[in-house]
């Protein structure tokens, strides 16, 4: 059976990463978390003083540092079942998921040089097919000819509830819902209005509105779509 490229795009905290990871596991494909790559670059910038206290990014310094930023992925371990993101060989999976990185990732992601650098890396990852990649511009920019494209949407409030639950389960500490909702709305605004590769549904993508769907229902929907494509 021919291995295809699967692109899953959508808004922040819409559940696309979980769906993409689980779909890849179901069909025996490789999962690539493009959002983790932007988060890793953001973490690098934060660690090297390239983001000021008021959130401004030193674009010149970060662009110059891109050749020194190496991102890779470690296979999911049996311990947690999660694929870990490596930044210059260091496992930063936990660090890139905190609220501070979330607050700064969109301003970093709009920098054209950052997007160009990471798009090339993403395309290299998917050169041979047999991958599931999720993000904001996978079906429109990274893999415009992907055989399966899905655009995931849910209300900002529902996405904030999911994100709050995820963070509290990971940290064991209460997280303010209003802060998360404001962060999601701001990321939506930045992602949808940026000049380079703005977040939008590809013309040939299938819309999945998962506001009222549980994970099992979403996975059944995705699996059915996959099998309908590969059998053609």
Query: E strands within the chain?
Result: 5-10, 30-33, 71-74, 84-87, 90-91, 131-135, 148-153, 206-209
Is 232 domain-assigned? Answer: no
Q: Does any domain span residue 42?
A: yes
Quote the CA–CA distance of 73 and 114 in Å, as a whole number: 19
How sure is the predictor about 178, in pLDDT bands with cuts at 50, 70 and 90? Answer: very high
Which residues span the domain enclosing 138?
5-219
Contacts of 49-52 with C-beta under 8 Å, sequence gap 24+, read: 51/104, 51/107, 51/108
Span 147-161, pLDDT tens digits: 999 999 999 999 999
| Cα atoms in the Cβ-side hemisphere of radius 13 Å centred on 7 | 27
Tell me the backbone φ, ψ of residue 151, rounded to 5 degrees: -120, 120
What is the rounded distance in angstroms from the CA atom of residue 92 to the CA atom of residue 204? 35
CA dist 76 and 93 (Å) reads 11
User: 31-83: per-residue pLDDT in tens?
Assistant: 988 989 999 999 999 999 999 999 999 999 999 999 999 999 887 654 555 77
Q: Is residue 32 part of a domain?
A: yes
Half-sphere exposure of 182 (CA within 13 A, CB side): 7
- Could you tell me the CATH number of the domain that includes residue 143? 3.40.50.300
Residue 62 placed within a domain? yes
pLDDT for res 78: 46
pLDDT of residue 196: 81
Is the residue at 226 inside a domain? no
Q: How many residues does the chain have?
A: 232
Over pLDDT 70: what percentage of the chain? Answer: 97
Number of structural domains, the chain? 1
CA distances (Å), origin 214, targets 87, 128, 162, 226: 33, 32, 11, 19
pLDDT band at 210 (very low <50, low <70, confident <90, very high): very high
pLDDT at 126 over 60: yes
Tell me the average pLDDT of the chain: 91
pTM for the complete prediction? 0.81
């Amino acid at each position: 059976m021919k291995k295809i490229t699967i692109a899953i795009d959508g808004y922040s905290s819409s559940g696309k990463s979980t769906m993409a990871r689980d779909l890849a596991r179901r069909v025996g494909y490789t999962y690539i978390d493009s959002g983790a790559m932007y988060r890793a670059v953001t973490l690098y910038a934060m660690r090297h003083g390239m983001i000021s206290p008021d959130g401004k990014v030193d674009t010149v310094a970060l662009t110059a540092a891109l050749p020194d930023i190496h991102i890779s992925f470690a296979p999911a371990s049996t311990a947690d079942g999660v694929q870990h993101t490596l930044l210059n060989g260091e496992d930063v999976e936990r660090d890139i998921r905190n609220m501070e990185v979330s607050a700064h990732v969109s301003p970093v992601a709009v920098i054209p040089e950052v997007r160009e650098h990471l798009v090339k890396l993403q395309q290299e990852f998917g050169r041979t097919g047999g991958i599931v990649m999720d993000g904001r511009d996978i079906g429109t920019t990274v893999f415009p000819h992907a055989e399966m494209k899905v655009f995931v949407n849910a209300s900002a409030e529902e996405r904030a509830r999911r994100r709050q639950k995820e963070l509290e389960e990971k940290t064991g500490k209460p997280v303010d819902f209003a802060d998360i909702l404001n962060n999601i709305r701001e990321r939506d605004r930045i992602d949808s209005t940026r000049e380079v590769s703005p977040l939008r549904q590809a013309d040939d993508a299938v819309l999945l509105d998962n506001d009222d769907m549980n994970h099992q229902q979403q996975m059944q929907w995705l699996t059915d779509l996959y099998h309908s494509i590969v059998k053609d």
